[in-house]
Chains A and B, each alone.
Chain A
C-alpha cells in the first residue's frame, strides 16, 4: 500500500533563507507524487507533480522537488523563503484514483 511520511510537523525559517520540507514515500510501484499547499481559509493548491518523467520537478512560486528512488524521498525545496510562503504543506501519493495525504508540515517564515 502507498503511504507518505512527512518528517517534520513544523519548519521555521527566516525570510530569504532556503526551505526544505521532507517527505518519504512507500509504494509498491512507481508512484505519482504531489506537493500541495494550504493557506488559511483557502483551498489546497497544487505546487508540483511527479509522474515518472524528470526526477527534478519544478513547480509554482519557485518551489521544486526531487524524486530519489534510492532514498524513497520527494523533498520540497525553495532557495529563498518569502513571507507569503507561510502555510501548511502536504506531500501526497496517488493510489490509482485516490490521493493519500501526509500529515502536513506547517511552514513559518520570520522576517
Chain B
C-alpha cells in the first residue's frame, strides 16, 4: 500500500512554455502533499507543502508564481512550472503522507528538461 504516481515521468519542453506535473496517491488519501526538487547527484530540497483545499506553503527562495501548486483533492496535487527556463531543468519528486504520521510516500519523480 501507499503508492504514489507521477505523470509524466519525463518531459522535454521549449524555454518559455509551461509544464504541468501530476502527483496522485493511488491507494490512500494524502492529507498533505510535498514537492521536492533534486539536482543531479544532490539531495532532495523541499519546494513546497500543500494541504488539500488550501494554498501551498513555499520554502524560502522558491518562487510561488513560477511554481504553481494545486491540491484540489486528497489524492491529486499538481505542480505547474510556468515560463520554464533551462535552469528549471531538474528532477521533481512529490510525496504524500497519511494522517500526518510523518512517514511520507514518494512518487517515482518527473525529469524535466527545458531546451
Contact = CB atoms under 8 A, between A and B. Distances in A.
B93 interface: yes
B43 A103 contact: yes
- Chain B CB within 10 Å, residue with most, of A36, A43, A103: A43
B43 A42 contact: no
B43 A97 contact: no
A84 interface: no
A32 to B, nearest CB: 5
Interface of B: 4, 9, 32, 34, 42-46, 49, 93, 95, 97, 100, 102-109
Nearest to A42: B108
B4 A43 contact: yes
Nearest to B100: A97
Contacts of B109: 41, 43
Contacts of B93: 43-44
12 contacts: A34-B103, A36-B106, A41-B109, A43-B4, A43-B109, A46-B105, A94-B102, A97-B49, A97-B100, A99-B34, A99-B104, A103-B42
B49 A101 contact: no
A74 interface: no
Given A101-B43, A101-B44, A103-B42, A46 B108 contact: no
B43 A46 contact: no
Contacts of A101: 43-45
Interface in A13-50: 32, 34, 36, 41-46, 49
Contacts of B95: 44
B43 A99 contact: no
Contacts of B9: 41
Given A32-B102, A42-B108, A90 B43 contact: yes
Report the 7 A-B pairs with minimum CB-CB distance, sorted nearest first. A44-B106, A43-B108, A43-B106, A101-B43, A101-B44, A103-B43, A94-B102
B95 to A, nearest CB: 8
